[in-house]
């Protein structure tokens, strides 16, 4: 097994001074989690192996790693859609045993319902909750305001741009007031400029709401620009080979953060951590 690289191996500017930033209470924890999938042969397929990490309240953590290393599997286990073969996943102190209301999940596709207005899309996830119609509406409008979509509450999804639709999907995810928001490559289907603007919009909204976020991304610049911490996974079976505590300013403004020399240093470090220079396609 590749040994995790200690923080002392990081450039001095990226290392954290523990006394300055005490760890917030854990919202999500993985303890010795291994996931194997059954195959047609006698040997099961190990997707991820011995994952242990915690994510604190209000933290924004990204997971990067090669395709197929098990990133989506980590999210699925957090959401209770897949169960670990070994180890356990806990959310706010409770072991995850199945789908639960503490998790908000956002994918590359916005999955808005085309026949519902934007505000009614945001209300959708609240309909199973014990809330009055007025409370649902109030919460939906509050999240639309946070996502700067108040003027589009009565529009339909087809009337919105791709970026606005993703913002509406984020509003819907936040409306259920999850303990953690899981983001599986939410920007990967967008053009470069829309992506930058949307990253900034998401960063602000998530920062303002104070929600804990776990982002899966192939985009290393995005991970550096948006996160407090990055978990680097190895090739399959996925293990965590490094944890990078970024300790950079502007978590609510990825465009400003990307311009920092220290952000570029973190990128170079990530390239090395993923052995990109030595890897073939």
Ligand X SMILES: Nc1ncnc2c1ncn2[C@@H]1O[C@H](COP(=O)(O)OP(=O)(O)OP(=O)(O)O)[C@@H](O)[C@H]1O
Residues in the site for ligand X, rule: CB under 6 A? 37, 45, 47, 67-73, 236
Shortest distance in whole angstroms from residue 72 CB to Mg ion: 3
Cα–Cα distance for residue pair 202/212, rounded to 1 Å: 13
Cα–Cα distance for residue pair 48/34, rounded to 1 Å: 5
Burial class (CB in 10 A: 0-12, 13-18, 19+), 194: middle
Closer residue to Mg ion (CB): 35 or 71? 71
Shortest distance in whole angstroms from residue 216 CB to Mg ion: 6
Name which of Mg ion, ligand X, none residue 70 binds, using a CB cut-off of 5 to 8 Å depending on partner kind: ligand X
Burial class (CB in 10 A: 0-12, 13-18, 19+), 227: buried
DSSP β-bridge partners for residue 104: 181
Q: Answer whether 171's CB lies under 8 Å from 144's CB.
A: yes
Closer residue to ligand X (CB): 44 or 249? 44
Name which of Mg ion, ligand X, none residue 11 binds, using a CB cut-off of 5 to 8 Å depending on partner kind: none
Shortest distance in whole angstroms from residue 71 CB to Mg ion: 5
Shortest distance in whole angstroms from residue 27 CB to ligand X: 21
Shortest distance in whole angstroms from residue 236 CB to ligand X: 6
Window 53-92: contact mask with Mg ion (x via CB under 5 A): ------------------xx--------------------
Residue ranges binding Mg ion (CB under 5 A): 71-72
């Amino acid at each position: 097994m590749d040994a995790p690289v200690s923080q002392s191996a990081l450039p001095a500017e990226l290392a954290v001074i523990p006394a300055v930033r005490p760890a917030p209470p854990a919202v999500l924890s993985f303890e010795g989690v291994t996931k194997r999938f059954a195959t047609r042969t006698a040997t099961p397929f190990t997707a991820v192996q011995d994952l242990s990490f915690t994510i604190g309240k209000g933290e924004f953590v990204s997971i990067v790693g090669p395709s197929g290393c098990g990133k989506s599997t980590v999210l699925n286990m957090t959401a209770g859609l897949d169960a670990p073969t070994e180890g356990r996943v806990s959310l706010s102190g409770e072991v995850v045993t199945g789908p639960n209301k503490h998790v908000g999940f956002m994918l590359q596709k916005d999955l808005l319902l085309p026949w519902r207005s934007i505000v009614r899309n945001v209300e959708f996830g609240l309909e199973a909750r014990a809330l009055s119609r007025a409370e649902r509406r109030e919460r939906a409008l509050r999240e639309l305001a946070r996502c700067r979509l108040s003027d589009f509450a009565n529009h339909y999804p087809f009337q919105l741009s791709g970026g606005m639709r993703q913002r509406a999907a984020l509003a819907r995810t936040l409306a259920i007031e999850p303990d953690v928001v899981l983001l599986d490559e939410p920007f990967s289907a967008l053009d470069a400029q829309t992506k930058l603007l949307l990253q900034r919009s998401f960063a602000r909204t998530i920062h303002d709401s104070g929600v804990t976020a776990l982002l899966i991304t192939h985009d290393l610049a995005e991970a550096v620009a948006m996160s407090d911490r990055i978990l680097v996974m190895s090739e399959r079976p996925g293990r965590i080979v490094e944890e990078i505590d970024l300790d950079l300013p502007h978590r609510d403004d990825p465009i400003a953060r990307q311009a920092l020399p220290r952000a570029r240093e973190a990128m170079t470090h990530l390239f090395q951590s993923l052995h990109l220079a030595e890897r073939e396609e």
